[in-house]
A = this chain, B = another copy of it.
Amino acid sequence: MFRKNSNHTYQAASPKMQLYEITFQPDGVKVKAAGQTTIWEAGQRAGIILNSVCGGAGTCGKCLVYLDGQETPVRACQYRVDRDLVVTIPESSRFFEQKILQEGISSQASIEPLVCKHYLQLAGPTLEDLRSDSQRLIAAVDETAGGAVHTCRDHAGTVSGRTRIANSLLRQLPALFREHNYAVTAVCHSGRIFAMEPGDTTGTMFGLAVDIGTTTVVASLLNLVNGKTVGIAAQSNPQIPFGDDVVSRIEYSRANPDGLRQLQHRMVDCLNQLIADLCKKTLVQPWQIYELTAAGNATMQHLFLGVPVEQIAQAPYVAAFSEAVNAPARELGINIHPQGNVYVMPSVAAHIGGDTVAVGLSTAMKFSEEINLAIDIGTNGEIILGNRDWLVTCSTAAGPAFEGARISHGMRGAAGAIERLYINQDVECGVIGEVPPTGICGSGLIDSIAELLNIGLLDPSGRLCSRDEIPAAVPPKIRTRLIETDNGPAFTLAYADQTKHGKPILLTQRDIRETQLGKAAIAAGVATLMHHRQIQPQQIGHLYLAGAFGNYIRPESARRIGLLPDLPLEKILFIGNAASTGAREVLLSRQTRYRAEQLAREMEYVELAGQADFQNLFADCMFFPEK
């Protein structure tokens, strides 16, 4: 299909193929794309990455774009180019390149991956120069890199002695040198030459950054020469059949003798599938991927490496390991370069994994004088509080309400989910994918409750009023939405004739109680950390929201229901998918990798179960704030 030429632009391989010119706006970037290429793929080749939660399946509606100035958007992942097109990308459809990162400390790090290549034109041996092949190679690499001290400096700045050669490479050296007239490229990682290629291949160097989410696995293929993302692929986590959440997968591994191995193999297979997909799309060869970095919660990181997880789910809940792990790809069965490195992010505790370290990394809290707060909201809420002098972190069990579980009409944030809700004269809904709704997701749930609190249909204790208690000011169309069911009062979010399935979408009293439990857990976690360090809300400079869910809530609603502390809205910032960003940052920059490890060591873990005041704070936080 497409072939990379030496100038790093893309051209059609065959002159017969029909090519169209696609212009992306407001970037003004043009790219030639063959017919049948999706707009999403064309953008990817132009270095423009569009949003996607469903991985191109066409279900999430996150990649809407406008064609030739038309008013109705199309899904970039579904639309195949059929003519020259001008594609306008709304900010909301761009892949999370969150503002904070672009301004923050991380983006200041130059593109300096741990993998590096050196093209060497060696003089062959003569009677006057009888050095061994390996000596010749090492001397040339050291010279090109500016001395062994430079070659061997790892991301922590430690010089690990002399430049080394992978043993497997010794077996290839003599033939490689002599068959290619001593013109070769050496591929290095932390002072170790682990691969050799004939000729000059310094222009081609890829890495893979993986976010191992409990629900979704996202792999980004990066060009390590210029730092650009050349492709993104995603799949549902293949461990889901063994358990929707972390705890049930741990239980599966405990109860089944072969469970741990199965869970690991599923993940390795999934990554290999993503690699195959990305390589097929981009024409990158798997062996041109020299490093893979992975970030996930601690359980996902354990399972990926095949490390037992039982102790994560048993009191007092500890991880088997928390340091960053480096392993040869071959050892794990990952189909990148067999001698390539697999790097797993450092973590802090059993419930503070590499994904949370990535949150700390993204927010650059470690470099800030003012005190900041970061919250990653999911089934568990991970919270970080602190500044350059100290950082405390905790994890709190929010339960699955924000991910749509245990809510009458709850669903994940996919097409058909009510994700926004406003109450004026009537209810106004925003639905993902702009289709008739089928349910409500976490952000819609929070909006709904906030709005019901605002108009007085819900009191601070969390009780929905009965029909005869409705305040006089409530508009008639809202009033009629409050109904009585067999299980108590409920509020009609969408009527049967408005929904896809023809049944009404209700918010029940029980849904509200579930949400209260979840938000109380998060709020009590925040309160405990603040109390632990004697911090008042007004001392907090910024509140960063992370995670797939955190990025879709309306801060004013979350603040209204007391999920977030009472801070001015301008202090609340979204940092997108920190795990994905973190994996990419540590792939591209040795400095950031060092910072991640330093950060993980410095974050002080606070176990809420060990905090005397947590239960009291939790009870307090069950209430909704007064207006």
In the complex the two chains form, is B320's CB within 8 Å of A173's CB?
Answer: yes
Question: Bound complex: CA of A533 vs CA of B176, how far in Å?
Answer: 37
- State the Cβ distance, A153 to closest chain B Cβ, in Å: 11
A133 partner, pick from B158, B175, B319, beta carbons under 8 A? B319
In the complex the two chains form, is B322's CB within 8 Å of A134's CB?
Answer: yes
Give the chain B neighbours of A130 by CB distance below 8 A: 316-318, 349-350, 605, 607
Give the chain B neighbours of A107 by CB distance below 8 A: none
A323 partner, pick from B134, B159, B308, beta carbons under 8 A? B134
A161 partner, pick from B138, B156, B174, B320, beta carbons under 8 A? B156
With A127-B610, A167-B331 as known contacts, state yes or no: A308 contacts B175, CB within 8 Å.
Answer: yes
In the complex the two chains form, is B308's CB within 8 Å of A131's CB?
Answer: no
Asked whether any CB of chain B lies closer than 8 Å to the CB of A609, the reply is yes
A307 partner, pick from B171, B317, B320, B350, beta carbons under 8 A? B171
Give the chain B neighbours of A165 by CB distance below 8 A: 321, 323
In the complex the two chains form, is B305's CB within 8 Å of A167's CB?
Answer: yes
With A127-B610, A174-B308, A311-B178 as known contacts, state yes or no: A132 contacts B167, CB within 8 Å.
Answer: no
Residues of A126-158 contacting chain B, CB below 8 A: 126-128, 130-135, 138, 154, 156, 158
Question: Bound complex: CA of A154 vs CA of B126, how far in Å?
Answer: 34
Question: Bound complex: CA of A126 vs CA of B160, how far in Å?
Answer: 36
- State the Cβ distance, A311 to closest chain B Cβ, in Å: 5
Give the chain B neighbours of A318 by CB distance below 8 A: 125, 130-133
- State the Cβ distance, A222 to closest chain B Cβ, in Å: 24
Asked whether any CB of chain B lies closer than 8 Å to the CB of A306, the reply is yes
Asked whether any CB of chain B lies closer than 8 Å to the CB of A327, the reply is yes
In the complex the two chains form, is A133's CB within 8 Å of B321's CB?
Answer: yes
Asked whether any CB of chain B lies closer than 8 Å to the CB of A423, the reply is no
In the complex the two chains form, is A170's CB within 8 Å of B135's CB?
Answer: no
With A127-B607, A161-B160, A331-B167 as known contacts, state yes or no: A132 contacts B174, CB within 8 Å.
Answer: no
Asked whether any CB of chain B lies closer than 8 Å to the CB of A325, the reply is yes
Give the chain B neighbours of A158 by CB distance below 8 A: 159-161
With A127-B610, A610-B127 as known contacts, state yes or no: A311 contacts B133, CB within 8 Å.
Answer: yes
Give the chain B neighbours of A211 by CB distance below 8 A: none
Asked whether any CB of chain B lies closer than 8 Å to the CB of A41, the reply is no
Question: Bound complex: CA of A128 vs CA of B612, how far in Å?
Answer: 13
Asked whether any CB of chain B lies closer than 8 Å to the CB of A310, the reply is yes
- State the Cβ distance, A315 to closest chain B Cβ, in Å: 8
In the complex the two chains form, is B167's CB within 8 Å of A311's CB?
Answer: no
Residues of A208-267 contacting chain B, CB below 8 A: none
Q: Which residue from chain B places its CB closest to the CB of A331 in the assembled complex?
A: B167
Question: Bound complex: CA of A331 vs CA of B328, how far in Å?
Answer: 13
In the complex the two chains form, is A134's CB within 8 Å of B321's CB?
Answer: yes
In the complex the two chains form, is B325's CB within 8 Å of A167's CB?
Answer: yes
Question: Bound complex: CA of A217 vs CA of B129, how far in Å?
Answer: 32
A306 partner, pick from B171, B310, B610, beta carbons under 8 A? B171
Question: Bound complex: CA of A138 vs CA of B349, how far in Å?
Answer: 15
Give the chain B neighbours of A307 by CB distance below 8 A: 170-171, 173-174
Question: Bound complex: CA of A234 vs CA of B321, how far in Å?
Answer: 43
Question: Bound complex: CA of A349 vs CA of B320, how far in Å?
Answer: 46
In the complex the two chains form, is A322's CB within 8 Å of B170's CB?
Answer: no
With A305-B167, A310-B174 as known contacts, state yes or no: A322 contacts B609, CB within 8 Å.
Answer: no
What residues of chain A have their CB less than 8 Å away from a CB belonging to chain B?
125-128, 130-135, 138, 154, 156, 158-162, 164-165, 167, 170-171, 173-175, 178, 305-308, 310-311, 316-323, 325, 327, 331, 347, 349-350, 605, 607, 609-610
Instruction: Pick 28 A–B contacts, CB within 8 A, sort by A.
Output: A125-B318, A127-B316, A127-B607, A130-B317, A130-B605, A132-B321, A132-B347, A132-B349, A132-B350, A133-B318, A134-B319, A134-B321, A134-B323, A138-B323, A154-B161, A156-B161, A160-B160, A162-B323, A164-B323, A165-B321, A167-B325, A170-B307, A170-B321, A171-B307, A173-B321, A174-B307, A174-B308, A178-B311
Given A127-B610, A158-B161, 15 more A-B residue pairs with CB atoms under 8 Å apart are A125-B316, A130-B316, A130-B349, A131-B318, A132-B349, A132-B350, A133-B311, A134-B321, A158-B160, A164-B323, A167-B325, A170-B305, A171-B307, A174-B307, A174-B320
Shortest 5 CB-CB contacts between residues of A and residues of B: A134-B321, A132-B319, A127-B610, A132-B322, A158-B161
